Structure formats: C-alpha cells, structure tokens
Amino acid sequence: MNRLNGKTAVITGGGTGIGRAAAKRFIEEGAFVFIFGRRQEALDAAVADLGPNARAVTGSVSNLADLDRLYAAVKAERGTLDIVFANAGAGSPLPLGQITAEHIDDTFDTNVKGTIFTVQKALPLMGSGGSIILTGSSAGTTGAPGFTAYSASKAAVRNLARTWAEDLKGTGIRVNVLSPGATATELAKEALGEEGQKAYGAMTPLQRMADPAEIGAVAAFLASADSSFMTASEVAVDGGLAQL
C-alpha cells in the first residue's frame, strides 16, 4: 500500500516502541518521517533501521525550544507537514497517599503540555488534509491502580482531541486519539519480564499484549485518507481491555 505516498510526518517518542513501529509503517506506505525523542542513541539506531526516508531530531516535547528546532528542520527540508503523531509519553506508578507535586509535573509536562505544544507548533506547517494523532491509553478510560497522574493525563489527551476538532473546523485538519492497551515495547518487556507480560496479556480478551507493529498499523490508518471522515474520535487498540 502507498496510502501515505509523498506525505511528511512527525512522530514524537519515535526512537523506540510504538513510535518507531509507526515510523516504519509510515515509511513503508510512502511517507517521509521525522522522528523526535530524547535519546540520541535510540534515534540513531532507528534511523539506521528506517533508511533514507527518515530523519531524527533530538529533544524533549516539554522543551519549547526543542520543538522549534524540530519544526525548523521539517520546514527547511520538506516545506510543509501532513501528519503529526504526538506519541511521546511518560508515566510511572505512585499510589494515592504518596503522590508528589514533582511526580505530577513530570507526567503532565510530557503527556499534556508536551502534546499541546507538539500540535500547536506544527499547525503553521499544516493544511487541508492534515492528520493529527494523539496517543491516549486504555488507562484514560478505565483508570489504573497506582497511576493517578498518568491516567488523568491520558484522560486529558482524550479531551484535547474533542476540543481541537472544534478549534480546527474549516481547516480540513483532522485530530483523533489512538489508545493502546498493554504493548510489548522494549521498555515494557524489560520492566515486566516474561511473567509480567503474561499477566498483563491475561487481562485482555485476546489473552496477550499488543505488538508495537499492530499499534503502528492503526496509526497509519488514522494518518491516511482511509480515515477521512473521522475527527474527535478515539480508536482503542487494547485487545478489548477497556471495552468490557
């Protein structure tokens, strides 16, 4: 398929996991992709794997100057931008009673502030037919014990899409949320181990965790004209976790 032929995309959190899998799928479908993330080593490895239609920019979505550098690079090489996949995210468990202001700030700076400015700073490069994809989470719907800040931040991301669909009326730019459940990224595998992965997989009707490529495939759908009548929507790619 060449659903994204000639399109230019930005993917934050693009060095590993879902972001890297989405970048691979976008390129396979004809896009030119800029991946953005904090770890230079991971970005270098990703670009080496993704090939000549990938570029990497190092930085944090919570740093506005870093985002300015990202979009300056996009404008200099490509001129315009068609797809933004605001995928960078952060979260760690801290149970109620132990939550700190620093923990909340760290989570919301990436997941909410970072998402807002990733999109806002992209808009001058985007036009009709553009697609914005925000990474939500099943935790934004169901909650997750011990993940107060993370769950709340992902619920906020869901509402950003609803609000922005109104704000973007008349522009031809769509905005949707892709909400994964437990996904077998490199980080998750390391953190959970084999038994942990089995336990998380067992929570879903499909009895397994997602492969990052499965999330990337849905991101490609939302980026393409195949989803042209979708905006303000949430697509759950969670094996049924938050649906039952």
- pLDDT tens, position by position, 18-51: 999 999 999 999 999 999 999 999 999 999 999 9
**E strand or H helix that includes residue 13:** none
- What's the confidence (pLDDT) of residue 189? 82
Q: In whole angstroms, give the CA distance from residue 19 to residue 129.
A: 22
Return the CA Rg of the chain: 17
| pLDDT (mean) for 81-88 | 98
The model carries a pTM of 0.96
Task: Check whether 217 has a pLDDT greater than 90.
Answer: yes
- Average confidence score pLDDT of the chain: 95
| pLDDT (mean) for 61-83 | 98
Q: In whole angstroms, give the CA distance from residue 12 to residue 56.
A: 10
Which tokens sit at 123? 């808009």
Q: pLDDT category, 105, cuts 50, 70, 90?
A: very high
Task: Check whether 84 has a pLDDT greater than 90.
Answer: yes
- What's the confidence (pLDDT) of residue 186? 79
From 66, 162, 177, 180, select the one nearest 131 (Cα to Cα). Answer: 177
Q: In whole angstroms, give the CA distance from residue 115 to residue 137.
A: 14
DSSP state of 221: H
In degrees to the nearest 10, what's the CA dihedral of 223, 49, 187, 190? 150
DSSP state of 229: T
- Domains, the chain, in order of start with CATH, read 8-235 (3.40.50.720)
Q: Which residues, listed in sequence order, are joined to residue 11 by a DSSP beta bridge?
A: 35, 85
From 26, 38, 32, select the one nearest 67 (Cα to Cα). Answer: 38
Q: pLDDT category, 209, cuts 50, 70, 90?
A: very high
| pLDDT (mean) for 137-144 | 90
| pLDDT (mean) for 55-78 | 98
Task: Check whether 191 has a pLDDT greater than 90.
Answer: no
The tens digit of pLDDT for each residue in 158-180 reads 999 999 999 999 999 999 999 99
- Give the catalytic positions in this structure: 150, 154
Chain centre distance of CA 178: 8
**Cβ contacts of residue 41 below 8 Å, gap of 6+?**
none
Q: pLDDT category, 118, cuts 50, 70, 90?
A: very high
Q: In whole angstroms, give the CA distance from residue 60 to residue 32.
A: 21
Which tokens sit at 138? 């099943």
- What's the confidence (pLDDT) of residue 187? 74
Q: pLDDT category, 122, cuts 50, 70, 90?
A: very high
